[in-house]
């Protein structure tokens, strides 16, 4: 019904026409509309973590027989907004022994990649900000940069323990990036393209009328790929049961303990934005993007379906955090190198076989 994609497209056409008619060159108008689109995306990515923080506090509350934030706004909806304002007003403490520039740069390098990563994500029909041909690879590449932010955070805090904490967190991110990339390769092999838009589109349609042709329902390879992707995404976003930075703060200070005020808010925003990014990628790659099920097509627009499925995956992330204790650091590394990686290789081989069979 009210698909947002074409409507927005049409709006920008009108805008460009209006600008050109008022003496603006075609290029300038095009650039202007691109800038406006980018701003909408950045605003969206800045708002989503606030929704996620609220969701996390409410979900954890109900899991623990309590109510969660209730005072600020009806059912505590404005609580995260209030937290944001509080963090902005907090004094930004830079430790004496710290390296001022690196302390300033760390949150920037940790947060900036997140905004860029959302470009190729297909929010719905026609709602892909930039349908890059190498979408998946682009996201993995740019999200790798934020690991450097964590290292800078560890170094910029000036104390030996937070540096150790930063190193351990970076080691975890590096090692879990590999199974995450490997787990997505079967999807790319099967659909022959790296653009998230085309992959999501290719998953529309039904098997025998009822089972949607999502990659997760492909016999063995779908489930293995999805599970490895989910597990390594939880590890990539430093969330329980892989939250080494928090565990480190028990013994060795975590890398972001020396940051306060807005800088801490940026690290916080990065974590939740990555959770949303991982869920969005999971939806696009494994759950068929904007493709609805059960209800006949067209009742709900595709971007609503996309958001529903993404929030379902986000709920999984939240659920893990409040039920599982923390893995010890060496078990965590062992799990990655000795369990996730071999299985992702097996999965790639299996998919290769299936692709061969399909070509016959």
Partner 1 sequence: MSQTTTPASAADVFPQAPPEKGMFISLGPQHPSTHGVLRVAITVDGETVTSAQPDIGYLHRATEKLAEKRTYPQIIVLTDRLDYLAAMTNNWSYCLAVEKMLAVPIPERAEYLRIIVGELQRIASHCVFLGTYGIDIGAYTPFLVAFGRERERILDLFEELCGARLTYNYIRIGGVMADTPAGWEKKVREFVKEMWGHIQEYDTLLTYNPIFMDRTQNIGLMTPEMAVAWGITGPNLRATGFRADVRKDDPYSLYPQLKFDIPVGKQGDCWERYQVRVSEMRESLKMIEQCLDRIQPGEWMAKLPKVYRVPAGEGYGHLEAPRGDLGFYIISDGSPSPYRMHIRAPSFINLQVLQQLLKGWKVADVVAILGSVDIVLGEVDR
Partner 2 sequence: MSPSLSSLVFYAFSAMLVVTAVGVVTLRNVFYSAVSLVAALTIVAGLFVLLGADFLGAAQVLVYVGGILIIMLFVIMLSQQPRDLLQRQTNDQWIAGLFFALTIGVSLVRAFTYFVSQTPPDGDIAPTSASLGRLLLGEMLLPFEAVSLILLAALVGAVVFGQEKNA
- By the criterion CB under 8 A, which residues form the site for partner 1? 60, 63-66, 240-241, 243, 246-247, 249-252, 322-331
Q: 33 and 15 in contact (C-beta within 8 Å)?
A: yes
The Cα 309–Cα 282 span in angstroms is 9
Residues contacting 73, CB < 8 A, separation 6+: 79, 81
Distance CA 35, CA 39 (A): 6
Among 104, 140, 293, 322, binds partner 2 (CB under 8 A): 140
Distance CA 210, CA 294 (A): 8
Q: How far is the CB of 20 from partner 2 (least distance, A)?
A: 14
Q: Find the binder of partner 2 among 20, 145, 300, 333 (CB under 8 A).
A: 145
Which of residues 39 and 134 has its CB atom nearest to partner 2 in the complex? 134
Q: Of residues 163, 196, 231, 313, which one binds partner 2 by CB under 8 A?
A: 163
Residue 101 touching partner 2 (CB under 8 A):
yes
CB atoms within 10 A of CB 24: 15
**Partner touching 63 among partner 1, partner 2, none, CB below 5 to 8 Å by kind:** partner 1
CB of 323 to partner 1, least distance (A): 6
Per DSSP (E only), the strands in 182-261 are 206-207, 211-212
Residue 133 lies near partner 2 (rule: CB under 8 A): yes
Binding of residue 334 to partner 2 (CB under 8 A): no
Helix axes 341-359, 160-191, angle to 10 degrees: 10
260 binds, among partner 2, partner 1, none (CB under 5 to 8 A by kind): none
- Give the residue with the Cβ less far from partner 1, 91 or 250: 250
Picking from 284, 280, 273, 286, the residue whose alpha carbon sits closest to that of residue 239 is 273
CA distance 236 to 253: 20
Q: Is the alpha carbon torsion for 196, 148, 156, 255 positive or negative?
A: positive
Between residues 166 and 254, which has the closer beta carbon with respect to partner 2? 166
Residue 141 lies near partner 2 (rule: CB under 8 A): yes
- The distance of closest approach from Cβ of residue 74 to partner 1 in the complex, given in angstroms and rounded to an integer, is 24
Distance CA 169, CA 150 (A): 8
Q: Does 187 bind partner 2 (CB under 8 A)?
A: no
Handedness of CA 129, 135, 137, 140 (dihedral sign): positive
Shortest distance, position 184 Cβ to partner 2, whole Å: 13
Q: Do residues 128 and 122 lie in contact, with contact meaning Cβ atoms separated by under 8 Å?
A: yes
- If contact means CB under 5 to 8 A according to the sort of partner, which of partner 2, partner 1, none does residue 330 touch? partner 1
Footprint of partner 2 on residues 314-333 (CB under 8 A)? none
223 binds, among partner 1, partner 2, none (CB under 5 to 8 A by kind): none
Q: Is there binding between residue 355 and partner 2 (CB under 8 A)?
A: no
Alpha helices, DSSP H, located in 90-134: 100-117
Is 114 an interacting residue with respect to partner 2 (CB under 8 A)?
A: no
Stretch binding partner 2 (CB under 8 A), from 55-63, 152-160, 235-243, 254-262: 152-160
Q: Is 20 in the site for partner 2 (CB under 8 A)?
A: no
Closer residue to partner 2 in complex, CB, 285/314? 285
Residue 142 beta carbon to partner 2: minimum distance, rounded to whole angstroms: 6
d(CA 210, CA 233): 30
Nearest to 30 by CA among 11, 12, 5: 12
The closest alpha carbon to 46, from 123, 115, 92, 143, belongs to 115
- The contact set with partner 2 (CB under 8 A) reads 27, 31, 99, 101-102, 105, 132-134, 137-138, 140-142, 144-145, 147-148, 151-152, 154-155, 163, 166-167, 170-171, 174, 177, 194
């Amino acid at each position: 019904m009210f698909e947002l994609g074409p409507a927005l497209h049409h709006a920008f056409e009108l805008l460009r026409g209006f600008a050109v008619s008022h003496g603006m060159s075609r290029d300038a108008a095009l650039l202007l509309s691109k800038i406006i689109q980018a701003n909408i995306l950045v605003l969206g990515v800045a708002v989503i973590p606030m929704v996620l923080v609220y969701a996390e506090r409410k979900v954890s509350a109900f899991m623990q027989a309590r109510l969660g934030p209730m005072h600020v706004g009806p059912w505590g909806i404005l609580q995260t907004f209030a937290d944001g304002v509080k963090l902005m007003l907090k004094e930004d403490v830079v430790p004496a022994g710290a390296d001022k520039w690196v302390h300033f740069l760390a949150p920037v390098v940790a947060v900036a990649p997140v905004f860029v990563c959302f470009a190729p994500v297909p929010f719905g029909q026609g709602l892909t900000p930039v349908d890059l041909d190498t979408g998946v690879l682009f996201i993995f590449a740019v999200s790798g940069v934020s690991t450097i932010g964590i290292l800078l955070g560890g170094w910029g805090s000036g104390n030996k323990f937070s540096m150790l904490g930063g190193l351990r967190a970076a080691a975890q991110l590096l090692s879990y990036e590999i199974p995450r990339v490997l787990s997505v390769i079967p999807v790319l092999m099967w659909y022959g393209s790296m653009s998230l838009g085309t992959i999501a589109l290719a998953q529309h349609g039904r098997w025998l009328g009822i089972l949607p042709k999502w990659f997760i329902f492909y016999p063995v390879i779908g489930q293995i790929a999805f599970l490895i992707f989910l597990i390594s995404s939880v590890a990539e976003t430093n969330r329980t049961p892989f939250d080494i930075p928090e565990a480190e703060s028990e013994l060795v200070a975590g890398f972001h303990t020396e940051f306060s005020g807005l800088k801490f808010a940026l690290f916080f925003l990065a974590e939740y934005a990555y959770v949303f990014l991982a869920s969005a990628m999971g939806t696009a790659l494994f759950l068929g993007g904007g493709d609805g099920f059960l209800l006949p097509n067209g009742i709900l627009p595709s971007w609503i379906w996309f958001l529903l499925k993404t929030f379902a995956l986000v709920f999984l992330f939240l659920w893990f955090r409040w039920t599982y204790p923390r893995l010890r650091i060496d078990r965590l590394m062992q799990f990655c190198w000795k369990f996730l990686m071999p299985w992702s290789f097996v999965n790639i081989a299996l998919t290769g076989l299936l692709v061969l069979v399909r070509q016959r």
